[in-house]
Amino acid sequence: MKTIPIPYYRSTLDLHVEEQNLAAVITAKMHGVRAEKSEQELVRDALAHPIGTKSLRELAKGKQKVVVVTSDHTRAVPSKITLPILLAEIRSGNPAAEITILIATGLHRATTEEEQRKMFGDEIVDHEKIVVNDAFRPEDFVFVQKLPSGADFHVNRLATECDLLVTEGFIEPHFFAGFSGGRKSILPGICSQETVNENHSFQAIASPYAKAGVLSHNPIHEDMVCAARAVNVRFILNVALDGNKKIISAFAGDLEQAHEKGCDFIRSLSQCPVVTGDIVVTSNGGYPLDQNLYQAPKAVATAEACAGEDGVIIMCASCVDGMGGTHFEKLILSGTVDEIEKRLSAIPPKETIPEQWCAQIYSRILKKHKIILVTTYLDHDLVRRANMIPASSPDEALAMAYEIKGKDAKVVVIPDGVSVLAVK
């Protein structure tokens, strides 16, 4: 019997699999990487050797209004480490700079002050100017231009009124944008709901290029890069994290060049050959990404790549924050997967419903695979109404999967499905 810990909320849940059933345990190499320098040293080294730009302190000289875009409570960006160093670097170039920290929420709910204190620390919350983006306040946004897809680009006006725009984030495989980080701080991070929705339209999500690890010809990525260039993002700081959310590398400098270096690094450590199983067990990497059902398709999409025909997917996600979006909840509970997909496919890009992409991806996967959701927080009746099967533990879910696929079913385990780039 093999015992495999599966990330869940702020801890793990144990999965027990008989040796003869276990086909593979797939983990990204990054979880075994141990940096030779401290997290602070890695960040400072990246800032001291920017890729494709002058140093941030040089760029900050003479710049009065500076905006630093950072991630919200759904992302594991180690801002307690990165933000103080970024702010100090800016002020070394211009001690009098007026700095605004803009939290990129996309279409997520507002980040609370309590969450900000956990993310940034009391010192920053008490002494820095922090603005939380609200995609649903039209007066906060200005039209900039049309994007390559034809979408209207409306961005938070703070990004257009500053002298220097800086972003921070972290890079991991992303199931329809290719990779996270870089340009995503702007779109969807600080765009209006209309712009985010159109970028996430049914047609864009359905593109064969809109998948993990793919940037070339990816229409979602192309719009994102265009948007970030249009508002003149001058400098980015992106980090790579291990399984414990610790920094193992950092990349700073030009929007595209630094991000590309980071993506290459992540690809080298996350790319894993596909092993096909009758049952695939995974997680969204624990908190914060597993806090709601809306975030969970990231790892489900990774599991999909390893699930054989009619394979069963077991997804472990606490969903401590519930469904994660009122529009998504309404859509995912609105009927069968065929009914949901048919309805969404008929919606023109400019009429895209907020959060519909999430229901679209779940429906696509559910048409081929049963999904068993392991959660101890989300109401199990809601899970059933969302066309999934609820379970309270990985072992309970595995027993259910064996009933569907048979006692001899081969099991593939991807403990952290968000960090793995499964390649055939």
**Residues 27, 115: Cα–Cα separation, whole Å:** 29
Q: What is the C-alpha radius of gyration for the chain, rounded to an integer number of angstroms?
A: 21
Contact 162, 65 (CB under 8 A): yes
Q: What residue ranges in 158-275 does DSSP mark as E strands?
A: 164-170, 173-174, 178-179, 233-241, 247-253, 271-273
Please list the residues that pair with 5 across neighbouring strands.
14
Site of tokens 């309270």 = 392
Tell me whether the omega of the peptide bond preceding residue 173 falls within 30 degrees of 0, making it cis.
Answer: no
Contact 212, 171 (CB under 8 A): no
Task: Strand 411-414: give its sheet, edge to edge.
Answer: 22-25, 411-414, 277-283, 307-316, 371-374, 389-391
Site of tokens 């001899």 = 408
- Furthest C-alpha separation in the chain: 69
**Residues 344, 353: Cα–Cα separation, whole Å:** 9
Task: Tell me the catalytic residues.
Answer: 108, 174
CA distances from 89 to 31, 43, 45, 318, 404 (A): 30, 11, 12, 38, 57
Task: Note the helical H segments in 136-192.
Answer: 157-161
**Residues 223, 71: Cα–Cα separation, whole Å:** 19
Query: Which residues touch 282 (CB under 8 Å, ≥6 apart)?
Result: 6, 299, 300, 302, 303, 313, 314, 315, 316, 413, 414, 415, 416, 417
Contact 276, 309 (CB under 8 A): no
Q: How far is C-alpha 234 from the chain's CA centre?
A: 22
- The identity of residue 32, as a single letter, is G
CA distances from 28 to 248, 285, 287 (A): 13, 12, 18
